[in-house]
Copies of this chain bind each other. A is one copy, B any other.
Amino acid sequence: MSTITVPAEVPPVSDDVEQLRKAFEGWGTNEGLIIEILSHRNAEQRKLIRQTYAQTYNEDLLKALNKELTRDFERIVLLWTYDPAERDAFLANEIVKKGAKSNQVIVEIACTRSSHELLLVRKEYHARYQKSLEEDVAYYTTDEVRKLLWPLVTSYRYEGEEVNMTLAKSEAKLLHDKIAENCYDYDDFIRILTTRSKAQINATLNQYKNDFGQEINKNLKADPNDEFLKILRATIKSLTNPAKYFEKVLRLAINKQGTDEDALTRVVTTRSEFDMKLIKEEYKKRNSVSLNEAIAKDTRGDYEDMLLALAGSDDA
């Protein structure tokens, strides 16, 4: 379900590396060439390009890109060039360093990656920052935000499809009782969302809807400015319907006065090789224009070109 296109005949990696080097040389940088190469190589191929570039020129490709590029275009090319786990570790660390504003990014990484992918992120976090991800998340957060984010980033959920319907029924009731008592930060509420398998959570929340007549997220809207409720809703949505979750992130980013380039870049770089096709379908359904049309309208230059190359064509 990747939206990027890789040429049928990929040039030898030594050619890619040489072309990239050429794009950096001289006075002007050849951004078009950078896009042409990097946006049409998959994660494995980009990894090989980085390794070969480092061997050939004794310089990290990311450092070279960092010297040559600026602003939103720089950020999207750098994020794209990272390996997925490295990219997530970098994004999570950025949030932690900011003192954990936009905790939603942490939720997103913890809930929409597979259990194995999340482990790889934690491994990369050790290697890059000489600390553990949970160490930083638990240290920089407080109160109920910590109570939710900490177990989320340490989760290693079972990924089988088996569902225990008796448990789904009893835990749906438990969730409902806690909402009725205004106890969202109650241990069991968080326990269910952070430890149960995604299949089990889906079953529990469907049961909730059947038994109590409304989606649980509709019952979690007490205060729109409440940071905890906000990330609690993001947790539920990203666990149960990641495509709809990401559609909403893109919609808010694009509709925002001035565009939220960081969110746009993050979703496009992290999802293009995973579920971007589904996200684009959701986007078209919800917004009457395609994501590509919205991007073309809202962004420009090399940044726009890179976004569109990663998001793929509308008919793909």
A interface residue numbers (CB < 8 A to B): 119, 122-123, 126, 130-135, 138-139, 146, 150-151, 154-160, 162, 187, 191, 195-197
Contact = CB atoms under 8 A, between A and B. Distances in A.
A135 B196 contact: yes
Contact of A138 (B119, B132, B191): B191
Contact of A126 (B158, B191, B196): B158
Contacts of A150: 151, 191
B162 A132 contact: no
Contacts of A119: 119, 156
Given A133-B156, A134-B195, A150-B151, 15 more contacts: A119-B156, A122-B156, A123-B156, A126-B158, A126-B159, A126-B160, A131-B197, A132-B197, A134-B151, A134-B154, A134-B156, A135-B157, A138-B195, A150-B191, A151-B154
**Copies of this chain, tallied across the complex:** 2
Q: Does more than half of chain A's interface fall in helix, strand or loop, or is it mixed?
A: helix
A126 B197 CA distance: 11
B158 A132 contact: yes
B139 A195 contact: yes
Residue from A132, A155, A162 whose CB has the most chain B CB atoms within 10 Å: A132
A187 B162 CA distance: 34
A157 B138 contact: no
A191 B156 contact: no
29 contacts: A119-B119, A123-B156, A126-B156, A126-B158, A126-B159, A126-B160, A130-B160, A130-B162, A131-B197, A132-B155, A132-B156, A132-B157, A132-B158, A133-B156, A134-B154, A134-B155, A134-B195, A135-B157, A135-B195, A135-B196, A135-B197, A138-B151, A138-B191, A139-B191, A150-B151, A151-B151, A151-B154, A154-B154, A154-B156
A309 to B, nearest CB: 35
Contacts of A162: 130
Nearest to A156: B122
Which 3 residue pairs of A and B lie closest in terms of their CB atoms, listed nearest first?
A154-B154, A135-B195, A138-B191
Nearest to A116: B123
A228 B126 CA distance: 30
A95 to B, nearest CB: 17
A187 to B, nearest CB: 7
A157 B159 CA distance: 23
Contact of A155 (B154, B155, B197): B154
Nearest to A150: B151
A73 B191 CA distance: 39
A139 B171 CA distance: 11
Nearest to A137: B195
Contacts of A159: 126
A217 to B, nearest CB: 23
Contact of A158 (B130, B151, B157, B191): B130
